[in-house]
Chains A and B, each alone.
Chain A
């Protein structure tokens, strides 16, 4: 029976490999036609510098979002905060409906232009999915296991670290993944406030109606988003206990 499954898997694997191969080929031909490959060949350094800048923006802002968002989520699920929880989440939800561009614009009016503004806006924008998932994960834990933990003499901090967080980890990490992937896209707008990143190529390309130029920014951005999504998915598998299966 195991044999059947592996054969099926390897067949599916080969099929999708072939599809990916053909798509890559078609995309390559198309990119060549639009002048993207030529541009990339001629300016690899520029693309690389902007790419690194983009990655920095994403990583720094996501790191700050996580380090603010998770403690906030934990705080909101403690007993004394419970009655304010829905309230605060609703306000954050409303904030999230403000378009990312507007957030960046508002940030700029107060902080001016530069990387700090860009990062500030990205942090604000990336916060909600993290807080919301942290709250959902922690509040969704079966109260029975908390009772068991308390009854066995765990201190509140031990309960949090050894029971609550590990059990909520899958949902928390999903929040971080969503936030990070959104961040990769939003970071392209940092260019508008002088924050740099691959947005430089995208917006310039749009302004100059130069598809090659624009794709030189858009393709690495999309690639980065896909990679981040995959990477965080791997992290989930690695960090979350095999005892918790959500599939």
Chain B
């Protein structure tokens, strides 16, 4: 746990504080994002936590102990530190880079070797291949992985990360973020994470602290910032498209229609056709009796057919998982021009259906209660 109380930083020779009276509490095992435009003091604030920048006034406590009273060297060795420019030591191999802190702490050789292999495996780099490479022989993404790995080497409970995925192309960044979240889900470190990218903040953060001119403007969950921005500044910062950003936060599970209408492979075609005509359905999902998703049938296929639905069913190759975020699902729907997309779980069991209309209504739910210019839109069919 990290506690900040009235933390202030005034650089010598300036009158404006770079960090102004910030109170902040980062619960154990959570990722706290410090975000703001450049010069807002987010990096300064982070660097005061391991005293790379001296604190002017206020107290910072890590696990209840004030950092000012701790031995400087011990403090830093106990905190993982990863930076945007990575800062791998070019003269050391990957293994040597990773074990910098363990070596400083006096681990024995065998333990360090095991740790290197363990960590490289964790970030999907084959230890036998990468252990003895030099940083210049790594791609940008690999170097970033090693940079983060190095910060985790001695298994510190607290990590400070200054835009650790900043200097990397967007595709690789996504991959690294996902990887990192997976690791974090297991390790549960207390992490202070600096970024200026609101998408990254929403995706990575358990909490987001928005700073401006050294002041803490709003501190809360990503949901809070997007749906209940405290003032105009927060609104502007999270962007006019903040409703879209909620797509990152919400899962398919939150928006899908559960238990959609469907038929089974062993149903008779004639009966189903009858039912579809009666209920004005053009289209119907098909599952096996055990609820394994098989595909769909439409009304034209059924006309004149005698037999089982199983003989007709057409597969649907594009599906989503309930735990995927809505942004991925929506982008799939747009890419493949789908009006609906089916959510199935790992065992291919049908979980629900997402269609563009439910998607819009879920995203808009807390965002624009008034419906804006058009007035409130409700369900209930034709009004005439």
Asked, given contacts A151-B83, A154-B104, whether A243 binds B91 with beta carbons under 8 Å apart, the answer is yes
CB–CB A167/B83 < 8 A: no
- Is A43 in contact with chain B by the CB < 8 A criterion? no
Question: What 1/0 mask marks residues of chain B from 60 to 80 whose CB sits below 8 Å from any chain A CB?
Answer: 000000000000011111100
CB distance B76 to A152 under 8 Å? yes
Tell me, rounded to whole Å, the shortest Cβ–Cβ distance linking A150 to chain B: 6
Take A144-B87, A158-B104, A245-B136 as given contacts and tell me if A150 and B76 are in contact as well, using a CB distance cutoff of 8 Å: yes
Cα-based distance from A244 to B78 in the complex (angstroms)? 29
Contact of B52 among A151, A154, A155, A163 (CB under 8 A): A151
Cβ contact within 8 Å between B136 and A243:
yes
Count residues on chain A whose CB falls below 8 Å from chain B CBs: 23
A90 CA to B93 CA, complexed, in Å: 38
In whole angstroms, what is the CA distance A144 to B86 when docked?
8
Option from A152, A155, A166, A244 in Cβ contact (under 8 Å) with B81: A152
A145, A150, A154, A158: the one within 8 Å of B88 (CB): A145
Query: Is the CB–CB distance between B93 and A243 below 8 Å?
Result: yes
| B92 contact from A150, A154, A243, Cβ within 8 A | A243
For chain B, the count of residues having a C-beta within 8 Å of the partner chain is 27
Closest-by-CB residue of A relative to B153 is: A152
A152 to B92, CA, bound (A): 15
A93 to B150, CA, bound (A): 42
Q: In the bound complex, what is the Cα–Cα distance between A241 and B96 (angstroms)?
A: 12
Q: Which of A152, A153, A167 contacts B91 (CB 8 A)?
A: A167
Q: Which of B77, B85, B93, B136 contacts A152 (CB 8 A)?
A: B77
B52 contacts A150, C-beta separation under 8 Å: yes
- Any B CB within 8 A of the CB of A147: yes
The answer to whether the Cβ of B310 comes within 8 Å of any Cβ in the partner chain is no
Task: Check B50 for interface membership: any CB of A closer than 8 A.
Answer: yes
Residue in A149, A151, A153, A243 whose CB lies within 8 Å of B90: A243
Closest beta carbon of chain A to B53's beta carbon, Å: 11
Q: Is there a chain A Cβ closer than 8 Å to B134's Cβ?
A: yes
Contact with A along B101-128 (1 / 0, CB 8 A): 1001000000000000000000000000
CB neighbours (8 Å) of A240 from chain B are: 91
Quick check: is B135 within 8 A (CB to CB) of the other chain?
A: yes
Q: Quick one: closest B residue to A245, CB to CB?
A: B136
Chain A residues 211 to 247 lying within 8 A of chain B, measured CB to CB, are 240-245
Complex contact A152–B89 (CB within 8 A): no
B101's partner among A144, A152, A166 (CB-CB below 8 A) is: A152
Partner of B87, one of A147, A158, A241: A147
Per-position binary interface string of chain A over residues 151-174, scored 1 when its CB falls under 8 Å from any chain B CB and 0 otherwise: 111110010000100110100000
> Nearest-CB distance from B124 to chain A (Å)?
23
Q: How far is the CA of A167 from the CA of B89 in the complex (A)?
A: 8
Question: Closest B-chain residue to A170, C-beta based?
Answer: B91
A88 within 8 A of B: no
Q: Of B78, B83, B88, B134, which is within 8 A of A147 by CB? A: B83
CB <8 Å contact, B89 and A163 = yes
Interface presence of A102 (CB below 8 A): no
Residues of A within 8 A of B101 (CB): 152-153
Q: Are A151 and B92 in contact (CB under 8 A)?
A: no
A148: interface (CB < 8 Å): yes
Q: Is the CB of A145 within 8 A of B87?
A: yes
Are B87 and A148 in contact, with the CB atoms below 8 A?
yes
B217: Cβ under 8 A from any A Cβ: no
| Cβ of B138 to closest chain A Cβ, rounded Å | 11
Residues from chain B with a CB closer than 8 A to the CB of A149 are: 87, 89, 100
**Contact between A166 and B91 (Cβ–Cβ < 8 Å)?**
yes
Q: Which residues 35-77 in B have Cβ within 8 Å of A in the complex?
A: 50, 52, 73-77
| Set of chain B residues within 8 Å of A144, measured between Cβ atoms | 83, 85-87
CA distance A154 to B77 in the complex (A): 8
Instruction: Name the A residues within 8 Å of B91 (CB-CB).
Output: 166-167, 169, 240-241, 243-244
User: Is the pair A152, B90 in contact by a Cβ cutoff of 8 Å?
Assistant: no
Residues on the A chain within 8 Å of B104, using CB: 152-154, 158
Cα distance A142–B92 in the bound complex, in angstroms: 15
Tell me, in angstroms, the Cα distance from A243 to B52 when the chains sit together: 28
Chain B neighbourhood of A242, CB < 8 A? 134
Chain A residues within 8 Å of B134, by CB: 241-243
Closest-CB distance, B3 to chain A (whole angstroms): 21
Instruction: Please determine whether B77 and A153 come into contact, CB atoms closer than 8 angstroms.
Output: yes
Q: Assuming A151-B83, A153-B75, A243-B136, what are 4 further A-B pairs, CB within 8 angstroms?
A: A142-B87, A151-B76, A242-B134, A245-B136
A-B residue pairs in contact (CB < 8 Å), sample of 18:
A144-B86, A145-B88, A147-B83, A147-B87, A148-B83, A148-B86, A151-B76, A151-B81, A152-B104, A152-B150, A153-B75, A153-B76, A153-B77, A167-B89, A167-B91, A241-B134, A243-B90, A243-B91
**Top 6 A-B residue pairs of the complex, sorted by shortest distance between their CB atoms:** A148-B87, A243-B134, A153-B76, A153-B77, A241-B91, A151-B81
A residues engaging B (CB < 8 A)?
A: 142, 144-145, 147-155, 158, 163, 166-167, 169, 240-245
